[in-house]
Structure 1
Amino acid sequence: MIRIIVNAFVEEGKETAVVEVLFASSDHEKVEVKYQELTTQYPDNYLAVYDLPLDTDLNTLSHYPSVAISKEDFS
């Protein structure tokens, strides 16, 4: 199992959000330390830690990292 830290934010003057994976590790202690650093660095952003099992179709899980985008984003 690995853990990832996801960062979501809206850039100033923009209407759409950016969602990015900032860190990934199988060492849960490292993830916690990095999460604390990032919450200090990005106090206004949405930060989340997700547990991701390896070799698993994430679409079969009840909750997994995902982003909603509009059809126009593909144009």
Structure 2
Amino acid sequence: MIKIIVHAFIENGQLGVVEVLYASVDEASISNKMAELGKQFPDDYLAIYDLPLDTDLGKLPHYPSVAIGKEEFGE
């Protein structure tokens, strides 16, 4: 099992950004990094996701994802 820290925020008041900032299998490392990121981004959304290895994440009931519109592709 690997854990990832996801950071979500609104950039320039318009664009929603979701990014994976950190990944580890070490629980203490994830906790320490989450505390550090919480201080760095106090107004943003931070979440820890448990991700099993060798798994089709789309078949899990919940996994890191983001919805984007057609306009994001410049069409």
Normalising by structure 2, what TM-score? Answer: 0.94
Q: Report SS of the residue matched to 1:22.
A: strand
Aligned residues: CA RMSD: 0.8
Off by >2 Å, runs of 4+ in structure 1: none
d(CA) in 2 for partners of 1:19, 1:37:
18
Give 5+ residue unaligned stretches, structure 2.
none
- Name 1:51's counterpart in structure 2: 50
Identity percentage of aligned residues: 61
- Name 2:73's counterpart in structure 1: 74
Give 5+ residue unaligned stretches, structure 1.
none
Look up the equivalent residue of 1:41 and give its one-letter code: Q
- Name 1:5's counterpart in structure 2: 5
Q: Deviations over 1:21-72 (max 9, x none)?
A: 1000011110011001100110000000000000000000000000010011
d(CA) in 1 for partners of 2:19, 2:62:
17
